[in-house]
Amino acid sequence: MKGILFRSCLGVLVAVAMSSCPMQAQGPARPGASAAQASESPDPQLKPNPIEALRKFEPAADEEYQLGRGDEIQVDFSGRPELQAKLVVGPDGRVTLPLAGEVMLAGDSRSGAAKKIETALSAYYSNLSVLVTVTKYTANRVLVLGAVDHPGPVVFEGAPKLLEAITRGGLPLVGPLKRPQIPDQCAIYRGSDQVMWVQLRQLIDSGNPLADLRLRRDDVVYVPDPSDRFVSVMGEVNHPGAVELASNSTLSSILAMAGGITEKAGGSPHVQVVDSKNGTSRSIAFKDLLNPAKSLEVTLHPGDIIYVPVSGFYRATYFLERLSPITTLATLAAVNGAL
pTM of the model: 0.64
b (16+ CB within 10 A) / e for 82-101: ebeeebebeeebbbebeebe
How much is the pLDDT for 302?
83
Pairing of strands 130-136, 220-223: unpaired
pLDDT tens by residue, 47-56: 457 888 899 9
- Tell me the average pLDDT of the chain: 78
Name the more confident of 256 and 290.
Answer: 256
Which region among 66-75, 78-87, 301-310 has the lowest average model confidence (pLDDT)? Answer: 301-310
Three-state DSSP state, 233: strand
- How far is it, in rounded angstroms, from Cα 173 to Cα 179? 5
Name the more confident of 330 and 204.
Answer: 204
- How far is it, in rounded angstroms, from Cα 334 to Cα 339? 9
Which sign, positive or negative, has the C-alpha torsion 135, 57, 63, 22? negative
Residues 108, 69: contact at Cβ < 8 Å?
no
Q: Which pLDDT band holds residue 77 (cuts at 50, 70, 90)?
A: very high
Q: Which pLDDT band holds residue 279 (cuts at 50, 70, 90)?
A: low
- How far is it, in rounded angstroms, from Cα 90 to Cα 72? 9
How much is the pLDDT for 175?
67
Backbone angles phi, psi at 30, to 5 degrees: -90, 120
Residues 140, 65: contact at Cβ < 8 Å?
yes
How much is the pLDDT for 26?
47
Residues 6+ apart with CB under 8 A from 65: 109, 110, 134, 140
* Domains along the chain with CATH numbers: 2-62+141-338 (no CATH), 72-136 (3.30.1950.10)
Q: Which pLDDT band holds residue 42 (cuts at 50, 70, 90)?
A: very low
Three state DSSP letters for 309-326: CCCCCCCHHHHHHHCCCC
By C-alpha distance, which of 305, 293, 288, 296 is closest to 254?
A: 305
pLDDT tens by residue, 313-334: 434 334 433 444 333 334 433 4
Which 8-state DSSP code applies to residue 238? S
pLDDT at 86 over 90: yes
